Chain A
Amino acid sequence: MTSRFLVRHCSPESAILVERAESVVLGLSPWNGYYRPRAIEALIDWACSVFRRVDVFVPGYEAAHTLTAAGFTAPEAVHRTRRALSQLRTPARRALERAGVDGPDRHLHTWTQLAGRPQYAASRARAEHAYRTDPAVRRVCRATARAAVRHAAGTEPSEAQIDRAVSYTIAELPLVVDGPAVFGTTTSLFVYHRPMDLLEPLITGEARGLRPAPGQGYAVVTPAGTDQEGFPHDRRQDRDR
């Protein structure tokens, strides 16, 4: 049975998209207490019951930079990252298959795979430029990376550690600001389980160098009556991604 979810739109433009987006895009985060297999499957079950098209993504290889910044050797960081991503993809694939999605692997992405699409590459170049030139974009990218490294290392990271880890956040930006182009739709609703600090200056317009594309919406989606549904939101493990 499909679990009930509470849907909150994050911008005026998103209000209509939570009802009518051509595609919903679910971002799954590694090393995050929320994205356990049952929660992933329930979320995808719900999304497939509401939207005609569902795309799910997990991070690309840059996620390992969080761990190398936290002090892991590169091979160990890669090993742990690949394992963590596999733990997200397995339940996601299972849920997409169960929902009868045609070609589940065509709707289950890493952004490394998407790097072959010119639309991702172009948007990534814009994101990198915005990071270099727009203080608001730079601030939230670094804050996001800081929280991620702090979670992995258990200590407050230095600026140099954040330099090493911030590629993860920048590489994610195309999927959350240019969903329609990257996924080939006219409208796209990006869904996360809580408000992302990363998105705030983009949505409010404070970040002038990087704006959500037309047709890009945002929603926070949480299980209705979380405690009863058995999806405890473990704040200690919830990193800022």
Chain B
Amino acid sequence: MTAAKTATADPDLPLRYPFPPGELGTPPPVLAWARKYRPVCPVRLPSGTQVWMVTRKTDIAQVLTDARFSRNLVYEGAPRFVGEDFTSMAGGIFNLDPPDHTRVRRVISHFYTRAGAESYRPMVRRHAARLLDAMAEGPNPADLVPAYTAPLPLAVSSEILRVPVEQRDAYHSYFRTQTNLAVSAGEIAAATRAVIEFTGEVIEAKRREDRGGNDRGPIEALIRARAAGEISESELQGTVAYLFVTGSEPLVSPLGTGVVTLLVHPRQLRACINDPALWPRAVEEVLRYHHNGVLGLPRVATEDVRLHGVTIAKGDGVCTPMLGATWDPAHYPNPAKFNIHRRTDGTATFGAGPHFCLGAALARMFLTTAYEALFTRFPGLLLAVSEYDIPWELDLFFTKPATLPVAWA
């Protein structure tokens, strides 16, 4: 192997994904190893496909902004985690490259600007209060996952997309399967078909109901853009499916993981409770410290690219774990230290370039509101088990506690 080999600690290559997790929802330690010794590191996905993993912040920014790396994985034989998941759906903005991506994204981007996100804050507060009221009436200690961290993002996302939460709940298992690493390729493909079917039903129902009113959400905007000929039918269907897949589950992860991290840093948590102006700082640090996914879905090289002496060949998949960027010690001193008073922020967790996370402002507003509501209502919230007994979901793209037992005075 290379001269950088460090005797006993080096893992075998290619690395196998999923990686052994870090403690308490922190990044898998192998990311730090790869950043140091194999900045362009081969990784084998559960599907058997081998991809390259880039872990340094500057390299990640380069891949995300370089047009030679495409998000278009809508073709047979494209690198997949397990099977034909939502990266295989034609037309979704997740899978489009500019200029198509720019054209479709423009239709809904105003819902997700800072001002757009801010307009949803009272609604998030209302759902948070409702769930916390119910929690206060129930058993104590309680599992915060079914009480708060799972239903709040779903309720908020359903209201933003103006789809009844019950309708969406019926399809919940398919959305979950989309992001599961431990199921078969066949199950993934079946779940993708179910998501497409659900998406079609939602769009048809909205087309029937549309009376031209003013209270419209992102799905209605896409339907109108379709009617106006600005986007294609597959762009409509694919982007609505994308909004469902990404609108809720990716928020469950930082909400739960962040609560654990705050509870195991009681001094910083207390500072936020005493001075609510600090909540946005806490959210920035949670966003830096955690990412909802570990490896990140692949891009594909459209021509040969050399990086750190490695040739990434045309057609190769490249993954850019955002935790590689946000834990890069060259940019974040002592990255393993959770410190809400850092001068840096969590922006790198949302990526870079044209696919910079559409929901970044929404995620920030949501988490700030959700943490503040929880800890204002239960300022004495405590873990009901040792933090090391909290079970973590290991089979999903997303890092999150499976159960989060808490108690309050």
* Chain A contacts to B: CB under 8 angstroms: 60-61, 64-65, 68, 73-75, 77-78, 81-82, 110, 112-118, 121, 164, 167
Which chain B residues numbered 89 to 140 have a C-beta less than 8 Å away from chain A?
139-140
Are the C-beta atoms of B408 and A74 separated by less than 8 Å? yes
Are the C-beta atoms of B386 and A82 separated by less than 8 Å? yes
4 nearest CB pairs, A to B? A116-B391, A61-B405, A116-B402, A115-B403
**CB < 8 Å neighbour of A74 from B386, B390, B392, B407:** B407
Tally chain B residues at the interface, Cβ within 8 Å.
22
A9 to chain B, nearest CB (A): 32
| Chain A residues closer than 8 Å to B386, beta-carbon distance | 82
B141 to chain A, nearest CB (A): 5
Are the C-beta atoms of A164 and B390 separated by less than 8 Å? no
A182 to chain B, nearest CB (A): 13
Render B378-399 as a binary contact track against A, CB cut-off 8 A, 1 for contact: 0010101110011111110000
Asked if B409 CB lies within 8 Å of chain A CBs, one says: yes
| Chain B residues closer than 8 Å to A65, beta-carbon distance | 139, 141
Render B173-185 as a binary contact track against A, CB cut-off 8 A, 1 for contact: 0000000000000
Are the C-beta atoms of B391 and A64 separated by less than 8 Å? no
Please report the C-alpha to C-alpha distance between residue A114 and residue B407 in the assembled complex, in whole angstroms.
20
| Chain A residues closer than 8 Å to B140, beta-carbon distance | 68, 74
- Other than the given A77-B407, A78-B407, A113-B389, 20 more pairs (CB < 8 A) read A60-B405, A61-B143, A64-B384, A64-B407, A68-B140, A68-B141, A73-B409, A74-B407, A74-B408, A75-B408, A77-B141, A81-B384, A82-B384, A82-B385, A82-B386, A110-B389, A112-B389, A112-B403, A116-B391, A164-B139
A8 to chain B, nearest CB (A): 32
Please report the C-alpha to C-alpha distance between residue A97 and residue B282 in the assembled complex, in whole angstroms.
40
| Chain A residues closer than 8 Å to B393, beta-carbon distance | 116
Are the C-beta atoms of B390 and A112 separated by less than 8 Å? yes
* Chain B contacts to A: CB under 8 angstroms: 139-141, 143, 380, 382, 384-386, 389-395, 402-403, 405, 407-409
Please report the C-alpha to C-alpha distance between residue A196 and residue B104 in the assembled complex, in whole angstroms.
63
Are the C-beta atoms of B385 and A110 separated by less than 8 Å? yes
Are the C-beta atoms of B409 and A112 separated by less than 8 Å? no
Are the C-beta atoms of A74 and B391 separated by less than 8 Å? no
A65-B139, A68-B140 are known contacts. Are A78 and B384 too (CB-CB below 8 A)? yes
Please report the C-alpha to C-alpha distance between residue A64 and residue B389 in the assembled complex, in whole angstroms.
15
**CB < 8 Å neighbour of B382 from A68, A75, A118, A167:** A75
A208 to chain B, nearest CB (A): 27
Are the C-beta atoms of A116 and B407 separated by less than 8 Å? no
| Chain A residues closer than 8 Å to B382, beta-carbon distance | 75, 78
| Chain A residues closer than 8 Å to B141, beta-carbon distance | 61, 64-65, 68, 74, 77-78
- The chain A residue with its CB closest to the CB of B384 is A61
Are the C-beta atoms of A113 and B391 separated by less than 8 Å? yes
Please report the C-alpha to C-alpha distance between residue A175 and residue B391 in the assembled complex, in whole angstroms.
16
**CB < 8 Å neighbour of A116 from B139, B403, B408, B409:** B403
B319 to chain A, nearest CB (A): 25
Q: How many A-B Cβ pairs are below 8 Å? A: 62
18 A-B pairs (CB sep. < 8 Å) = A60-B385, A61-B385, A64-B407, A68-B141, A74-B141, A74-B407, A75-B407, A77-B407, A78-B384, A110-B389, A112-B385, A112-B389, A113-B390, A113-B391, A114-B391, A115-B403, A116-B393, A116-B403
Please report the C-alpha to C-alpha distance between residue A113 and residue B392 in the assembled complex, in whole angstroms.
8
B246 to chain A, nearest CB (A): 23
Are the C-beta atoms of A116 and B385 separated by less than 8 Å? no
A68-B140, A116-B394 are known contacts. Are A75 and B380 too (CB-CB below 8 A)? yes
A108 to chain B, nearest CB (A): 11
- The chain A residue with its CB closest to the CB of B182 is A118
| Chain B residues closer than 8 Å to A78, beta-carbon distance | 141, 382, 384, 407
Chain A CB within 10 A, most for which of B143, B385, B395: B385
Are the C-beta atoms of B139 and A112 separated by less than 8 Å? no
| Chain B residues closer than 8 Å to A82, beta-carbon distance | 384-386
Please report the C-alpha to C-alpha distance between residue A113 and residue B389 in the assembled complex, in whole angstroms.
6
Are the C-beta atoms of A115 and B402 separated by less than 8 Å? yes
A170 to chain B, nearest CB (A): 12
Please report the C-alpha to C-alpha distance between residue A29 and residue B95 in the assembled complex, in whole angstroms.
53
Chain A CB within 10 A, most for which of B141, B380, B393: B141
A57 to chain B, nearest CB (A): 12
| Chain B residues closer than 8 Å to A117, beta-carbon distance | 391
- The chain B residue with its CB closest to the CB of A167 is B139
| Chain B residues closer than 8 Å to A113, beta-carbon distance | 389-391
| Chain A residues closer than 8 Å to B389, beta-carbon distance | 110, 112-113
A65 to chain B, nearest CB (A): 6
Please report the C-alpha to C-alpha distance between residue A82 and residue B139 in the assembled complex, in whole angstroms.
17
Please report the C-alpha to C-alpha distance between residue A68 and residue B385 in the assembled complex, in whole angstroms.
15
| Chain B residues closer than 8 Å to A116, beta-carbon distance | 391-394, 402-403
Please report the C-alpha to C-alpha distance between residue A115 and residue B390 in the assembled complex, in whole angstroms.
9
| Chain B residues closer than 8 Å to A73, beta-carbon distance | 409
Please report the C-alpha to C-alpha distance between residue A110 and residue B403 in the assembled complex, in whole angstroms.
12
| Chain A residues closer than 8 Å to B139, beta-carbon distance | 65, 68, 164, 167
A75 to chain B, nearest CB (A): 6
Please report the C-alpha to C-alpha distance between residue A114 and residue B403 in the assembled complex, in whole angstroms.
10
B389 to chain A, nearest CB (A): 5
A127 to chain B, nearest CB (A): 15
Please report the C-alpha to C-alpha distance between residue A116 and residue B384 in the assembled complex, in whole angstroms.
16
Chain B CB within 10 A, most for which of A61, A68, A73, A121: A61
Please report the C-alpha to C-alpha distance between residue A114 and residue B392 in the assembled complex, in whole angstroms.
10
- The chain A residue with its CB closest to the CB of B383 is A78
Please report the C-alpha to C-alpha distance between residue A61 and residue B407 in the assembled complex, in whole angstroms.
10
Please report the C-alpha to C-alpha distance between residue A64 and residue B384 in the assembled complex, in whole angstroms.
8
Chain B CB within 10 A, most for which of A60, A68, A114: A60
- The chain A residue with its CB closest to the CB of B394 is A116
| Chain A residues closer than 8 Å to B380, beta-carbon distance | 75
